Amino acid sequence: MGEAATSYEYNTRLPTLDHLNAQRPSKFDVREITSNWVSSFTKAISSGKADNVTSLFVEDALWRDMLAFTWDIRTFHKLPNIKKFLTDRLTETQPQNIRLSDDKDKQPSVLDAPGLFWVQAFLDFETAVGVCSAVFRLVPTANGEFKCHTMFTNLESLKGHPFRIGPLRSWESSHGEWLSQRAKELSFEDGDPKVLIIGGGHGGLDVAARLKYLGVKSLILEKNPRIGDNWRNRYQALCLHDPVCEWL
């Protein structure tokens, strides 16, 4: 992974128009702005040169990656750090088939508020090993050109290793044999676990469930007597934070 994995502290600020030394565009076409930027971004990525990619970002940019490029959860702030990260990872990652998302709920949108203006859009793309998504925000610059201020890239799935859900799940009837099948899984009769998960909190349980969907055996080690005790011993009750209606 190279030195791109080196951690560091960073401070950033909202990309206000004053900070960007820019003005709110009087006329704009959201789709045209995003399409033009994605076209330039695709060409820059295809060139394999980090400089070409960073030329499309503002100096104070942030790039947050979850597994897609770094196989880690990493944040890179400012162009020199983003350039180093891309120099280390572009060639090996091989991002390809970059396009704006066609999901009806992920169409380009605008935030237009006093002192702030940005365009947000979503991408779908692939790497050498995975199917990925991204969300990015473009801000105006002093010369009227739009550049990226924030980029978030995320690995959605691995090629050739689909989750065993939907039509890929087992459709065989258990005929009431769930408990015996579960006991067999717990005893690892068919082989040792491939992954050891430390901690049976919500994070550990989520990882175990995802590995099971991929057909990978795992074993969770939890210090508390029961699964969920890390929450039972911390809170008096469990509350679900449902969305609040605007009219309430």
N-to-C CA span, the chain: 49
Q: How confident is the model at residue 234 (pLDDT cuts 50, 70, 90)?
A: confident
| Domains defined for the chain, CATH in brackets | 2-158 (3.10.450.50), 176-230 (no CATH)
Using alpha carbons, select from 127, 76, 133, 72 the residue that is nearest to residue 99: 133
Give the integer Cα–Cα distance in Å for 134 and 98.
10
Alpha-carbon separation of residue 47 from 40, 42, 175 (angstroms): 11, 9, 57
Give the integer Cα–Cα distance in Å for 109 and 113.
13
pLDDT tens, 169-210? 777 776 667 788 878 888 888 889 999 999 998 889 999 998
Is the model's pLDDT at 50 over the cut of 90? yes
Question: CB atoms < 10 A from the CB of 114, how many?
Answer: 8
Q: How confident is the model at residue 248 (pLDDT cuts 50, 70, 90)?
A: very low
Q: What is the pTM of this model?
A: 0.78
pLDDT tens, 107-162? 999 999 999 999 999 999 999 999 999 999 999 999 999 999 999 999 999 998 88
Is 186 in contact with 209 (CB distance < 8 Å)? no
